[in-house]
Amino acid sequence: MFRMLGLHPGPQIAEATAASMANRSLEETRRILLELDDAGLATEIASGIYTLHDLLHAYARELSEREESEADRDAAIHRLLDHSLFTAVDADRQLEPHRDPIDLPAPCEGTVPEAMESRAAALRWFTQEYPALLRAVELAAARGFDEHAWRLPWALVTYFDLQGRWQPFKASQNVALAAAQRLGNLEAEGRALRHLANASIQM
C-alpha cells in the first residue's frame, strides 16, 4: 500500500482511491492506512483523506519503481485513473443530469468507483478532490493514457463552470485537446475546443 501511494500524484488521496489503486477492499484499505498513519508514514488530514510528506512520497515512489514491475505500476495507475474518471462522471451527472454523455469503456478489474447520491455529495466530492483530479489529468497525459486525458477534463467541466475556476478549466482542456489530437479523435477534439472557447469567453 505504501508503494502504491508513491504512484499517486497527490496532494492527497482518499481511502476509496487507494483501495482501487491497490486492488483491495475498502475495509482492508482503511485498516492499512490507519497502520501507516500510526507508523508516521502517512497522515490522515480529514476523515478518510491521507497525505504523505514530500520526502516520504518520493521514497514510496522510489520503492515502487524498484520493487514493482512496470506492468504492475501501469495497472495501479490505470485503476487510479479509472476510479477518478468514473467517479467524476457520476458526480457530474448529479450536477448536470441533462448533459450529453460521452462513451465510456468498462472500468478495469479491481476499480471500485464511488457513487454520488446527491448534488450536494457531488459538490463536496469535487471540492475535496479537484486538486488531485487535476494532477491525475497531467499524470494520464504523461503516462500515455490519452483516453483518460481527454475524458477526465470533460467530467470536470460542469464543476469548474459552476465554481468559476477558469484557469484550471482552461489548463485541463488544453491537456484534453492535445490528447484528442494524439488519438486522432475529432469528436473529443471538438469538445475540447468548445470548452476552451467557453473558458476563454468567461476569462
User: Residue 1: pLDDT band by 50, 70, 90 thresholds?
Assistant: very high
> pTM (2 decimals)?
0.92
Judge contact between 11 and 131, C-beta under 8 A: yes
Helix (H, G, I), strand (E, B) or coil at 46: strand
Q: What is the pLDDT of residue 191?
A: 95
- Rounded to 5 degrees, φ, ψ at 114 are -85, 145
User: Residue 10: pLDDT band by 50, 70, 90 thresholds?
Assistant: confident
Q: What is the pLDDT of residue 11?
A: 87
- The per-residue pLDDT for range 13-32, each reduced to its tens digit, is 999 999 999 999 999 999 99
Judge contact between 17 and 83, C-beta under 8 A: yes
- The per-residue pLDDT for range 53-94, each reduced to its tens digit, is 999 999 999 999 999 999 999 999 999 999 999 999 999 999
- The per-residue pLDDT for range 108-161, each reduced to its tens digit, is 988 989 999 999 999 999 999 999 999 999 999 999 999 999 999 999 999 999
Beta strands in 35-103 (DSSP E): 43-46, 49-51
